[in-house]
Amino acid sequence: MTAPAPPVAPRPFRVRWLGRVRYRDALALQKGIHEHGADDHLLLLEHHAVYTLGVRAGTRNLLAPPDEVGADLECADRGGDVTFHGPGQLVGYPLLHLPGKRGGGMADTVAYVRSVEDLLIGVCRDLGLDDVGRLHPYPGVWVEPDGPNPRKVAAIGVRLTRARTMHGFALNVDPDLSYFDRMVPCGIAEHGVTSLAAEGVDITMADVVDLVVERA
């Protein structure tokens, strides 16, 4: 009689708060962990002001030069169009090993994105922002998604390769929203951007970080 295989030990999950980091430095750290890290990680941080372009994005949705407002411009190997990162915005980079469908093959990108959305929707509801959810067909988390004025409070842009994740989410806690006026966020011209603060949620970045870590 063949003995049952021993249970597989769970992979360590390490959460790190990095403070304020330039985008290119955080990207280099992601790549290093992706290439060489054996554990799962969640990097939480703020960025210095930067506009980033996804793999298929051009500059057509940038409405003014970033250097006019002291922001950097960087290319990113993630999905999506142009987005902004800056102080007052919580950025999360989950670097995870994802199993493929039915235990093999390619990981399910759509299911992974929805899981990140679920985490952020839960955090928003923990903070009393109840009317949040998805707005088809756009990824991210939206306030009043079924109302006359849906507005994005969290953006998501990810990359999956070799069953590992990179990039992640950006939750607007209390950033300077005027930076978003200088672009077409994620290429979506018909809907606006908001923040927890703009929706009346008075909370510190540290408290938002604690809620994200608890749910993650």
> Hey, what are 157's tokens?
């842009």
Check 121, 186, 196, 209 and give the catalytic one. Answer: 186
Active-site annotation holds for 124: no
Residues annotated as catalytic are: 186
